[in-house]
Chain A
Amino acid sequence: MSTHLDGNMLGGALGELFTVDITAATGRCAFCGTVSAIAQTHVYTDAPGVVARCPGCSGVMLRLARGPGRAWLDLSGITCLQLALPNGP
């Protein structure tokens, strides 16, 4: 398996899609239930898109592919995201 990076590097690409920072959100892995910050996922970039895997079980939590004028985001490996809302009550 190739060397992985981590979910910190997803901030720019996800920031194109969302107005809150998703890398600081925690996500529950759909395969093993581990809850981790998206920044802590293990990210592999040697694919047409980027693949973020659970640091606990290596299950695929997130896939993101970007094309001209289009993005594909697969979050089927995350059952719940918890986000801090900076200006919320």
Chain B
Amino acid sequence: MAGTAVLGRLTWRVSTVTSVRDETATARTIALNVPGWPGHRAGQHVDVRLTAADGYSAERSYSIASAPGGDEIELTVQRLADGEVSPYLAQVLAAGDLLELRGPIGGWFVWEPAPAPVLLIAGGSGVVPLMAMIRTRVAAGTGAPFRLVYSVRGPDDALYAAELAERQGADNGLHVAYVYTRSTPPGWPEPPRRIGAAALTTAGWTPDRSPAVFVCGPTGFVETAANLLVSAGHDPRMIKTERFGPSGGQS
């Protein structure tokens, strides 16, 4: 039950960057060693604080991408062109650097390992906390069938594409479907489109399976997907959502 109970108030910790790796042209995964990390649950996030020499500081929230494991956590940061924090994290930060953070944070947008089917719906970098759930799934050994519907602008924007393809073959019970909104891979059977009822019906679980549903993405995406799910007959109480955006969110 590591990390299920935060017994004290959250305080800032200093972590050390152990490695960085590019996921796409604009997103990078940062691996951190956090001494005394209490563990986390899939779906939780951390707050990162950058402080300038003159004392000015900025905080942002970033989802944890990795499954729980010791003092190591991974964040995946999407660089926003006009961002205040993300360009530093996604371009400048290097192995050996120190990074101030607090967490794990959040007890609601969390997958508690259970046998029930799980439907994950991601818009862009909203896939990050859902990836933590996918990575936790095998270790948890519940056999819960997972379906991920992942909306991205184009094939080059998809985070974790190689790992998801591999896991779809190797992790029994994981199914991944992409929705391309601006450009498709060669030979894709349909033109680019936004997520719609059809994508959720064919690639997701039907309401009669009572899946636990997690939706994460920009606000507009989350509202659209949640409305589609409720219209399709999913119980609103089974739908958990997390929105991010440029103001105070994941920028």
| A interface residues (Cβ-Cβ under 8 A, vs B) | 2-9, 11-12, 15-21, 23-24, 37-40, 45-46, 50, 84, 86-87
Contact = CB atoms under 8 A, between A and B. Distances in A.
B109 A39 contact: yes
B140 interface: no
A23 B59 CA distance: 18
B91 interface: no
A65 B61 CA distance: 17
A15 B108 contact: no
Identify whether the interface residues of A are mostly helix, strand, loop, or mixed. loop
Contact of A5 (B8, B46, B247): B247
Interface stretch (B68-76, B99-107, B149-157): B99-107
Interface residues of B, number: 30
B106 A23 contact: yes
Interface of B: 4-10, 45-47, 59, 61, 102-103, 105-109, 219-220, 240-245, 247-249
B226 to A, nearest CB: 10
Nearest to B1: A86
Contacts, number: 84
Contact of B109 (A8, A16, A19, A45): A8
19 contacts: A3-B220, A5-B248, A6-B241, A8-B61, A8-B242, A11-B105, A12-B10, A12-B102, A12-B103, A12-B105, A15-B6, A21-B6, A23-B108, A38-B108, A39-B106, A39-B108, A39-B240, A40-B241, A45-B247
Contacts of A16: 9-10
Nearest to A23: B108
Contacts of A12: 10, 46-47, 59, 61, 102-103, 105
Nearest to B218: A3
A15 B247 contact: no
A23 B107 contact: yes
A11 B248 contact: no
Contacts of A39: 106, 108-109, 240, 242
